[in-house]
Amino acid sequence: MTNSKFLLTHPIYYCFFVVVCVIGVRGEERTATEWVEAMHNAQSELSFEGTLYFWNGSDITTIEYCQYVIDGKVQVNAKPRKGPQREINRTDEGLTISFSADDEYRDLSIELSGNSLSRLFPPDVATLSESYDISELPDERIADRDAVGVSITPKHADRHGFKIWIDKSTSLLLRMEMCDCDDAQKLSVLEFTELVVLDDSAPSLSAVARSKESDLSVSIVNEDESEASGIQADWEASYIPEGFKLSGTKSKDGVLFHRTYSDGLNSVTVQIRPLPKNFSGDIQLESMVGPTIVASRKAIDSRGRPQFITVVGDLPRRTIWKISEGIKFER
């Protein structure tokens, strides 16, 4: 069984998280809601390079991050400064992860999800406002840039909130904090320490120098809801927090085993795997790494077969387990 805790603590996960989350926009003087809307609307406009760190509550990973816009299409490259030579490259079509020959964890690559196709903020800020209160925060100085602060606070205690700071001159995201919905404690921090906006002559990722040691590339493409409609699925999540929508699926041999749901800020994945038919005993496991909860339990499907349900997300513990307990198998 794959060690879920490893996947969530290793630098490759941090890079993956960053690829999902970092976006940028142009902007002028705006209200807090207009800043959030502008971030989404202009995420495909700017090319930039920078250095950022990601703190998950216990560990810090420094990442070299590049975003290039080529013919209106966004291409992203991210890699940690330390550790095995790994790179993540994202386009609108999918994700490619390159592993070095001596990487002992390269075999775990198939467990990574294609969540990079999701976006940090939904296209309709009115929809976001149904679940969050958006307000101004004091300005700060980040990466030698003046930054506008915005608070995004959940209206219900079933998800966490965020504080973000946006560059006044370019409208690029400079810092993002995830905050506990109960006590506002910081759960994770993503912040650029250096940032350079590029002109239209930025190279495509195919021209970006990559590690000579990388000899394995794994491509991950999320199936959208329409593509998943023809796939066999004998289970449903009867409870998903209000405002969360299906944002991605994964299947194997025509059987759906993985669904991702997101409200544009927070996301959660549900994975169903078969257990050996002769497996006996109960299973109920939980681990927590920073804001990420991994909850697993045994269940019996409609045919009497044992299944292993795993729910992973940066949501409160009570929400994760409520989702897990709400998984229903069709009869």
Averages of pLDDT over runs of 10 residues in the chain (331 residues) are 48 52 53 84 77 86 84 80 69 63 51 39 76 95 95 94 91 91 91 87 51 44 48 84 87 80 88 83 86 92 89 94 94 67
Phi, psi angles (nearest 5°) of residue 66: -130, 135
Task: Let me know the angle formed at the C-alpha of 309 by 181 and 274, rounded to the nearest 5 degrees.
Answer: 165
> For residue 29, what are its two tokens?
């003087």
What is the reported pLDDT for 303? 86
Rg, the chain, Cα only: 20
Q: What is the pLDDT of residue 323?
A: 97
> Measured between alpha carbons, how far is 300 from 195 in angstroms, rounded to an integer?
51
Count of CA atoms in the C-beta half-sphere (13 A) of 185: 8
Q: Locate CATH 2.50.20.10 in the chain.
A: 4-220
Question: What is the rounded average pLDDT for all residues in the chain?
Answer: 77
What is the structure's pLDDT at 94? 60
Q: What is the dihedral of CA 227, 229, 231, 233, to 10 degrees?
A: 140
Alpha helices in the chain (DSSP H): 4-9, 11-21, 32-41, 125-131, 225-228, 317-325
Q: Which two tokens stand for residue 147?
A: 């930054």
Closest CA to 133 of 109, 153, 114: 153
Determine which helix (DSSP H) or strand (DSSP E) holds 83, and give its type and residue range: none
Is residue 309 within 8 Å of 25, Cβ to Cβ? no
Furthest-apart CA atoms within the chain: distance in Å:
64
In the chain, pLDDT over 90 holds for what percent of residues? 30
What's the pLDDT at 40? Answer: 72
DSSP labels, 250-290: EEETTEEEEEEEE-SS-EEEEEEEEPPTT--S--EEEEEET
> What is the pLDDT, as a whole number, of residue 283?
85
| CATH class held by domain 4-220 | mainly beta
Q: What is the pLDDT of residue 238?
A: 94
Angle (CA) 69-126-320 rounded to 5° is: 85
Question: Domain spanning 225-329 has what CATH number?
Answer: 3.30.200.100
Identify the pLDDT of residue 102: 61
Where, residue-wise, is CATH 3.30.200.100 in the chain? Answer: 225-329
